[in-house]
Amino acid sequence: MNQIKRKLSFNQSSKEQTKKLRNKFDRKITSIENLSNEFFYEIFDYLDGCEIYQTFSNLNHRFQQLLNSSSLRFKINFHHSTSIEIFMNNYKQIILLNKDQIFSIHLSLSTHNNQIISSLNIDSSFNRLESRVLQSGPGPGPGGTGTGIGTKILRFTGTGTGPGPKFCFLPGPGRD
């Protein structure tokens, strides 16, 4: 009889210990908001600006403040596989509203994306913009991959200070 009581008390304490551990584990999962802003800025350095904005913008108030912080700078990348609808949506909702946070724009488009190129208006209101790369080519080849033939790259780099922007024309692969 004494052994039965011991088993019950052991089982009860085991259940209580499991509950305590589960509560600790749950607290750790929800404590992502306790991480510093600098930690998130480091993570965001590896992500595309449009993806950051779409993922974190409506998550909660803290992330909304993070996205609107002047310390956050976006890198924007568009590839030739980006549809015109997605580009226009991102352009209106993200790029135009966050001009002062964008420091890099890289467009890799086929020559078939003239609507995207013509709608992109990059002016002096992009006051943190340091790098623009416009890469255009013949469009997707067989299997959806670019051929690299006829690819042209126009690169703008500048810091907003000094003598002015620098432009470079870079020929595509296989050209001198």
SS3 label, residue 142: helix
Q: Higher confidence at residue 38 or residue 176?
A: 38
Q: Does residue 158 share a domain with residue 97?
A: yes
Q: Does residue 3 share a domain with residue 83?
A: no
The pTM for the full model equals: 0.61
Q: Does residue 139 share a domain with residue 91?
A: yes
Model confidence band, residue 154 (pLDDT cutoffs 50, 70, 90): low
Q: Does residue 96 share a domain with residue 10?
A: no
Q: Does residue 145 share a domain with residue 88?
A: yes
Q: Does residue 79 share a domain with residue 135?
A: yes
pLDDT in tens, 77-133: 887 777 888 888 888 888 888 899 999 988 887 766 677 777 778 888 888 998 888
Q: Does residue 167 share a domain with residue 80?
A: yes
Q: Does residue 96 share a domain with residue 13?
A: no
Alpha-carbon span 158 to 139, nearest angstrom: 28
Residue 57 lies in a domain: no
Residue 67 lies in a domain: no
Residue 48 lies in a domain: no
Q: Does residue 96 share a domain with residue 21?
A: no
Nearest to 101 by CA among 53, 143, 147: 53
Q: How many domains does the chain have?
A: 2
Owning domain of residue 105: 72-171
Residue 52 lies in a domain: no
Q: Does residue 19 share a domain with residue 89?
A: no
Backbone angles phi, psi at 148, to 5 degrees: 80, -10
Model confidence band, residue 148 (pLDDT cutoffs 50, 70, 90): very low
Helices (H), 31-152: 37-44, 49-56, 61-68, 84-90, 114-119
Find the Cα–Cα–Cα–Cα dihedral 65, 68, 69, 70, rounded to 10°. -170
Residue 115 lies in a domain: yes
Alpha-carbon span 76 to 106, nearest angstrom: 6
Q: Does residue 101 share a domain with residue 22?
A: no
